[in-house]
Amino acid sequence: MWLSDAWQDYELMDAGDGMKLERWGDVVLSRPEPQAVWRPQHPALWEKADAVYHRSNAGGGNWSYARTLPESWQIGYGALRFYVRPTGFKHTGLFPEQGVNWDWAAQKIRQAGRPVRVLNLFSYTGGATLACAAAGAEVVHVDAAKGIVSWAKENAALSGLAEAPIRYLVDDALQFVRREARRGRKYEGIIMDPPSYGRGPDGQMFRFETHIQPLVEAAAALLSEEPLFFILNSYTAGFAPAVGGNVLKTALPKGQIEADNIGLVMPGGMALPCGATARWTP
């Protein structure tokens, strides 16, 4: 498992009984975590939770608060800064386990020693975008949700990257990739973090099991003659890391492919699997 263990402002304090206890700066949140089927290791710590997310049988859920929290607050990862906001869908605007992929991509960009263009699809609030831009890349940031793209711009400004060469687009991933191919645009790095299910800005449907292969195949046409990497993330339940690896193997040119779970460390030497990543390098 590839572990994101370089955080200082974030900490996975405990997990168990279908929940996880996390410190985001000086705020402690308790949220659902389906993979945490074991017993919590530190029951007393859970009393420190400032807010708990409760799932609803009808879908969605709500937060209950032990104290009044600000609408948003900041945390850092290295030189990057992010706004954290508890949302109505249990998310906070950040997936801390992705730090291990941010560092990997940034290292590839720095080692290249040449101009690098990166395409970040389903780019959410910009963690990978900012890591690549800070490493010296020009980045095209694509997400279907206008509000999320605005959040990414806020994070860029917070990180001192407001003037970085980042192009923000609210668009459907597959349609954008096909247009880029017609334009002849090329990229040295491509990052995808697709949802299990989602819709584009004009209602276009995306299902991981149906659309990921044609999307990766279309994106393969955007790789430059000297590519650096292709990263495919998945949070879709039931799909092992090897699934993403096989998609890359069948869609991309010959290269080196590695695939594994990504996760977070907990006290006591345990680790929480949070998703799967497959990486391609030439």
User: What is the pLDDT confidence band of residue 195, given thresholds at 50, 70 and 90?
Assistant: confident
Domain ranges of the chain: 2-84, 96-281
Task: State how beta strands 166-170 and 61-65 pair.
Answer: unpaired
Average pLDDT over residues 190-215: 82
Neighbour order of strands in the sheet with 10-16: 10-16, 19-24, 27-32, 51-55, 61-65
Average pLDDT over residues 153-177: 97
Asked if the domains 2-84 and 96-281 are classified in one and the same CATH topology, the answer is no
Q: What is the pLDDT of residue 13?
A: 98
Per CATH, the architecture of 2-84 is what?
Sandwich (2.60)
Average pLDDT over residues 173-192: 97
From residue 117, alpha-carbon distances to 97, 109, 149, 150, 167 in Å are 24, 9, 19, 21, 11
From residue 86, alpha-carbon distances to 10, 61, 214 in Å are 14, 12, 34
Average pLDDT over residues 121-125: 97
Residues 6+ positions from 26 with CB-CB distance below 8 Å: none
User: What is the pLDDT confidence band of residue 170, given thresholds at 50, 70 and 90?
Assistant: very high
Q: For a pLDDT cut of 90, what percent of the chain falls above it?
A: 87
Ranking 127-131, 189-193, 204-208, 268-272 by mean pLDDT, the lowest is 204-208
Residue given tokens 């430059």 in the structure block: 224
Answer whether residue 260 shows pLDDT above 90. Answer: yes
**What does pLDDT average to over the chain?**
95
The token pair at 65 is: 């608060």
- CB-based contact 74:82 (threshold 8 Å): yes
Average pLDDT over residues 182-192: 98
Q: What is the pLDDT of residue 31?
A: 97
Answer whether residue 58 shows pLDDT above 90. Answer: no
> CA-CA distance, 193 to 278, in Å (whole number)?
11
User: What is the pLDDT confidence band of residue 161, given thresholds at 50, 70 and 90?
Assistant: very high
- Class of the domain covering 96-281: alpha beta
Number of helices (H) and strands (E), helices first, in the chain?
Answer: 6, 17
Ranking 10-19, 51-60, 93-102, 147-156 by mean pLDDT, the lowest is 51-60
Q: Give the alpha-carbon dihedral of 121, 253, 110, 103, to 10 degrees.
A: 50
Answer whether residue 175 shows pLDDT above 90. Answer: yes
